[in-house]
């Protein structure tokens, strides 16, 4: 956020002196630079640790391998990222909907306790419901995070296998004629 604040100072200055056109051009230029850079840095941040763990490489080698994978498989990476973001949104909606469904009977019980005059029991029910809801969300999101990490690890492994390196292509013996 500090870097964003530093980079936005010239834009605010241009807006303050009335140079709105120049400020808009500067915003567009900044977006044209920082959005692709952010995507590349995001994939480096995602792929680097996978290369360190799966292929037992050091940090500099992992960064180089991750960048090479981004260069060769950018389209596949973007498609998988879009799919996982969509799946994440769908999962969030399912968790919220299921949480509402699970809390409907608790709400009815709470109303019954309220009208019966059991204020302490109602307070305990509300507190218990909040704790159970938090634990429910934590468990489901932990499971989904495991799924996401496994999906990225498998995807990186498959993308690496699909890239043919020149050394391996030369090491493959030529096919013998059938006869």
Dist CA 24 CA 95 (whole Å): 40
Using CA atoms, how far residue 176 sits from 12, 45, 179, in Å, is: 69, 44, 9
Which residue from 64, 24, 30 is spatially nearest to 47, judged by alpha carbons?
64
pLDDT at 169 over 50: no
- Contact indicator for 103, 129 with CB cutoff of 8 Å: yes
Q: pLDDT tens across 111-168, in order?
A: 888 888 888 888 888 898 999 999 999 999 999 999 999 999 999 999 988 886 545 5
Chain-centroid distance, C-alpha 124: 36
Mean pLDDT of the chain: 87
Q: pLDDT tens across 92-114, in order?
A: 999 999 999 988 888 888 888 88
Domain extent listing, the chain: 1-33, 40-72, 74-163
- Contact indicator for 144, 88 with CB cutoff of 8 Å: yes
Cβ-Cβ contacts under 8 Å for 160 (sequence gap 6 or more): 65, 69
Copy the structure tokens of residue 47.
């792929």
Dist CA 85 CA 48 (whole Å): 20
pLDDT at 172: 43
Using CA atoms, how far residue 140 sits from 15, 92, 159, in Å, is: 46, 10, 28
- pLDDT over 70, % of the chain: 91
pLDDT at 174: 46
- Contact indicator for 22, 14 with CB cutoff of 8 Å: yes
Residue 174 φ then ψ, to 5°: -70, 150
């Amino acid at each position: 956020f500090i870097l964003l604040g530093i980079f936005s100072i010239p834009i605010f200055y241009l807006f303050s002196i009335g140079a709105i056109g120049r400020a808009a051009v500067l915003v567009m230029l900044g977006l044209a630079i920082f959005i692709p850079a952010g995507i590349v840095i995001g994939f480096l941040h995602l792929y680097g640790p996978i290369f360190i763990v799966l292929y037992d490489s050091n940090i500099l080698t992992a960064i180089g391998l991750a960048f090479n994978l981004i260069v060769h498989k950018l389209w596949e990476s973007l498609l998988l990222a879009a799919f996982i973001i969509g799946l994440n949104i769908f999962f969030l909606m399912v968790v919220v909907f299921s949480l509402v469904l699970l809390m409907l009977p608790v709400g009815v019980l709470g109303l019954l306790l309220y009208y019966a005059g059991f204020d302490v029991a109602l307070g305990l029910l509300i507190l218990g419901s909040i704790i159970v809801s938090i634990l429910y969300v934590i468990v489901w999101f932990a499971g989904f995070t495991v799924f996401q990490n496994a999906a990225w690890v498998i995807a990186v492994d498959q993308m690496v296998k699909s890239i043919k390196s020149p050394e391996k292509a030369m090491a493959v013996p030529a096919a013998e004629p059938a006869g």
